[in-house]
Structure 1
Amino acid sequence: MRKRETVRRTTAKEVAAAAGVSKWTVIRAFTPGSSITDESKRRVMEAAAALNYSPNLLARSLATNSTRQVAVFVDDFRNPQKLPFLETLTERLQAAGLVAMLININNHFDHVHALLHADQRQVDAVILFGTAFRDETLTDRQLGNGMPPMFVLARDSQIDGVPAVVCDAELALRDIVDHLHDRGYRRPGFMSGAPALSTALRRRQHFTDFWAGKGVSEVELLSAEKYSAEAGADSVRQYLSQSTPGNRIDVLMCENDILALGAMDEIRGGFGLRVPDDIAIVGFDNYELSGSSAYSLTTYEQPRHEMIDAIIGMIVGSIKAETMTLPGKMIVRKST
């Protein structure tokens, strides 16, 4: 087999010589936010293009003590509502000169392994997105001091010192319950998703509290094992099979849109009931399919772009790293 020839990379020193500047000026020219004159940057870029030069990010990370990498932990990839968040998150990270390292938290790769993996790669930060992260994880003896800073996206942080950027669940559920109460619904139900993740959303608690404030103390609680349309359908099927028409809920709030879409399919297709005439449905997140004529789902939209901009600002240091709660907006459609 013919041995592959090694192509020598052009160095920053060679670019500096061609541009008539110092090596450190070349480094600054390729470092976002660095102080450099327009003329110097122009000369460096022209020389770099002529010599086919690209910076060695590994070498730069050793010099700057920053890899510009951010680890993103996700443990519910089956939830399709994660995709719009991940699309926006990776786009905004790249625009800020950062690169996302996506890590799948699962039965074979838990949080401790993921944190050790991220630390060994010297990431600049860790974003916990849709993960059930607990205090005891941080006290694991395998984890030493100096771990990268952590942030929680789209869920409340359960850990002191780990800030979260989250949609205002209290405001959201107040708006939802006010809307449902004004429409005349009085027999509410709530479907929660994966137990380990639901606790960090607080949506069920706010839902029951606001109904109690309106004199409705009984809220039927349904549970789905995971965030999927199939799980939503299974949960509502079990409830409807065990209840009688005269005693059923008249509105079902689902913890997210995917559960709501699955529940709606089962209510209409499996039991021949009408939405909203027999049972009204509400979701959360304003998933793309929710606005289609097939569903026309009433839901609540999180301020995705603002949340992601805030968490990136905390990572790069332009915003103080502290828990931030942002308002979303109610989207009323035909399902209520």
Structure 2
Amino acid sequence: MDVSFCGGFMRRRATAKNVADAAGVSKWTVIRAFTPGASITEESKRRVLQAAAALNYSPNLLARSLATNLTHQVAVFVDDFANPQKLPFLETLTDRLQAEGLVAMLININNHFDHVRALLNADQRQVDAIIMFGTAFRSETLNDRRLGRSMPPMFVLARDSQIDGVPAVVCDAELALKEIVDHLYEKGYRRPGFMAGAPALSTALRRRHHFIDFWKQKGVDETAVISAERYSAQAGAESVRHYLQNTDAKDRVDVLMCENDILAIGALDEIRGQFGLRVPQDMAVIGFDNYELGGASVYGLSTYEQPKDEMVEVVIEMITGRLPPETVTLPGKLIVRNSA
């Protein structure tokens, strides 16, 4: 048996050979018993599992990875933790990864740990795949001389991919913004505004681009664009405050679309609380993501819901090889509440 230390006491860890001896089978039969889909008789598997339970044995995944060249680890890159909508996505993603026997390695992309360092770190740990979850990743990064020629397969989740050969799984932004603009136009709004978040991420989302284009198709050529710089309620409040303080009432937008619900919640607090404006009578507000707090009666935020479960399912299917690695866009759903 292997020897390890636990709490200052020496503990013996059962090995595959110990289980094989106890079950009266070969070591390779033990390995097959713990390998999903491996060929093994029900009787042999029963004996192995019974012996393993008696010896408190569990497979050594590190040793198995050396034999299979698979670590069953998936690196997940995230760079905007201020957006709480990330948490429901991460919950669903990690749940599905674990159901497949995979473990998520969460990597925080920030000023001290950029994409190149993150890629190097993930490659050194020999992860099986990399999911870039809402990160502002550029194709030029792959040209960095420090990166090897053979990187783990990469996937973009919840953003358009800007990299050739790297597939994205994303909510259909064009369809979403068409539904939003159609709804707002039918309600009689004619002076639209758009609040964008972090510049690099905003470009990848393309929501502003489609919002402006669809209004032009309706004959509305001018769309006010407000920059929030980052995705947070505080940034949304600051941005709309600056806009309202510097824009005459007669020139203000009659509907403000925010790039996500967190910006919209901050904007709503400022519009109502600090400026005393009525929503939607004086200014309507609509967000994107269907963050749970936005549905509370105090906000009543109209929004657009991304198909989170379906998006995660598709990226898992690609990682496991059950679907080909190609960009997939999925439709979401317009959620109409009191704010617009």
Contact 1:29 / 1:41 at 8 angstroms: preserved in 2? yes
1:103 counterpart residue number: 107
Pairwise mapping of residues 3-14 of structure 1 onto structure 2 (< 5 A)? 4-14=8-18
Letter of the structure 1 residue corresponding to residue 221 of structure 2: S
User: Aligned with 1:262: secondary structure?
Assistant: helix
Q: Provide the rounded CA distance (Å) in 1 between the counterparts of 2:263 and 2:276.
A: 18
2:266 pairs, out of 262, 265, 284, with 262
Q: TM (normalized to structure 1)?
A: 0.98
Q: Which runs of 5+ in 1 are unaligned?
A: none
Cα-to-partner distance string for 1:60-105 (whole Å, 9 max, x where unaligned) = 0001100000000001111111000001000010001000000000
Q: CA deviation at 1:40?
A: 2.5
Q: Provide the rounded CA distance (Å) in 2 between the counterparts of 1:323 and 1:16.
A: 45
Contact 1:167 / 1:325 at 8 angstroms: preserved in 2? yes
Q: CA deviation at 1:26?
A: 1.4
Pairwise mapping of residues 43-82 of structure 1 onto structure 2 (< 5 A)? 43-82=47-86
Contact 1:211 / 1:217 at 8 angstroms: preserved in 2? yes
Pairwise mapping of residues 273-312 of structure 1 onto structure 2 (< 5 A)? 273-312=277-316
2:210 counterpart residue number: 206
Letter of the structure 2 residue corresponding to residue 12 of structure 1: A
Q: Provide the rounded CA distance (Å) in 2 between the counterparts of 1:307 and 1:96.
A: 16
1:160 pairs, out of 161, 164, 184, with 164
Q: CA deviation at 1:5?
A: 3.9
2:3 counterpart residue number: none
Pairwise mapping of residues 240-251 of structure 1 onto structure 2 (< 5 A)? 240-251=244-255
User: Aligned with 1:8: secondary structure?
Assistant: strand
Q: CA deviation at 1:7?
A: 1.8
Q: Provide the rounded CA distance (Å) in 1 between the counterparts of 2:158 and 2:103.
A: 20
1:83 pairs, out of 67, 81, 87, with 87
Q: Provide the rounded CA distance (Å) in 2 between the counterparts of 1:177 and 1:36.
A: 58
Q: Provide the rounded CA distance (Å) in 2 between the counterparts of 1:332 and 1:38.
A: 54
How many residue pairs align between the two structures?
Answer: 334
Letter of the structure 1 residue corresponding to residue 163 of structure 2: I
Letter of the structure 1 residue corresponding to residue 107 of structure 2: I
Q: Provide the rounded CA distance (Å) in 2 between the counterparts of 1:30 and 1:79.
A: 39
1:183 counterpart residue number: 187
1:195 pairs, out of 184, 199, 203, with 199
Q: Provide the rounded CA distance (Å) in 2 between the counterparts of 1:253 and 1:40.
A: 62
Q: Provide the rounded CA distance (Å) in 2 between the counterparts of 1:294 and 1:35.
A: 58
User: Aligned with 1:281: secondary structure?
Assistant: strand
Cα-to-partner distance string for 1:192-224 (whole Å, 9 max, x where unaligned) = 100011111010000000000000010000011
1:322 counterpart residue number: 326
Pairwise mapping of residues 29-40 of structure 1 onto structure 2 (< 5 A)? 29-40=33-44
Q: Which shows bigger deviation, 15-24 or 42-51?
A: 15-24
Cα-to-partner distance string for 1:26-63 (whole Å, 9 max, x where unaligned) = 11222233333333222211110001101101000001
Letter of the structure 2 residue corresponding to residue 132 of structure 1: A
Q: Provide the rounded CA distance (Å) in 1 between the counterparts of 2:277 and 2:135.
A: 35
User: Aligned with 1:295: secondary structure?
Assistant: coil
Q: Which runs of 5+ in 2 are unaligned?
A: 1-6
Letter of the structure 2 residue corresponding to residue 151 of structure 1: F
User: Aligned with 1:200: secondary structure?
Assistant: helix
Q: CA deviation at 1:124?
A: 0.2
2:154 counterpart residue number: 150
Identity %: 76
User: Aligned with 1:71: secondary structure?
Assistant: strand
Q: Provide the rounded CA distance (Å) in 1 between the counterparts of 2:8 and 2:306.
A: 52
1:25 pairs, out of 19, 22, 29, with 29
Letter of the structure 2 residue corresponding to residue 335 of structure 1: S
Q: 1:35 to 1:283 in 2, by over 3 A?
A: farther
Q: Provide the rounded CA distance (Å) in 2 between the counterparts of 1:37 and 1:286.
A: 49
Q: CA deviation at 1:127?
A: 0.3
Q: Provide the rounded CA distance (Å) in 2 between the counterparts of 1:57 and 1:94.
A: 14
Contact 1:32 / 1:97 at 8 angstroms: preserved in 2? no
- Cα RMSD (Å): 1.1
User: Aligned with 1:72: secondary structure?
Assistant: strand
Q: CA deviation at 1:8?
A: 2.4
Q: TM (normalized to structure 2)?
A: 0.96
Q: CA deviation at 1:18?
A: 1.7
Letter of the structure 1 residue corresponding to residue 288 of structure 2: F
2:4 counterpart residue number: none
Q: CA deviation at 1:148?
A: 0.6
